[in-house]
């Protein structure tokens, strides 16, 4: 116990302790702040990767739409356009009612 009390009477130990407390807890860039910012950076990088993948897929779709065949394929598959004297049947799955 005496060693413990003598440690707190040491001015170097007190100064170093106050410095550590200020650095890790009280300053503007304390440990919690740094962890939060690092987490935000990680989430932002994940969003950047997702947006980059979306841009790549959209560029591929745009490249396909630059040809006449690509436009016709898009119009027929997505917008259900048809040629003259042609009928289109859209088959969908019926949702099952789970309320029974």
Q: Where exactly are the structural domains of the chain?
A: 29-83
> pLDDT per position in the chain (100 positions), as tens?
777 777 778 888 889 888 888 888 887 778 888 899 999 999 999 999 999 999 999 999 899 889 888 888 888 888 777 777 777 777 788 877 766 5
Here the tokens at position 40 are 């935000």
């Amino acid at each position: 116990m005496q060693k413990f009390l003598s440690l707190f009477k040491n001015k170097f130990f007190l100064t170093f302790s106050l410095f550590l407390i200020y650095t890790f807890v009280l300053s503007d860039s304390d440990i919690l702040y740094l962890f939060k910012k690092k987490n935000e950076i990680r989430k932002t990088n994940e969003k950047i990767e997702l947006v980059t993948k979306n841009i790549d897929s959209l560029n591929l779709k745009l490249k396909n739409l630059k040809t006449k065949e690509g436009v016709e394929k898009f119009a027929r598959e997505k917008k259900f356009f048809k040629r003259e004297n042609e009928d289109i049947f859209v088959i969908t799955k019926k949702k099952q009612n789970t309320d029974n």
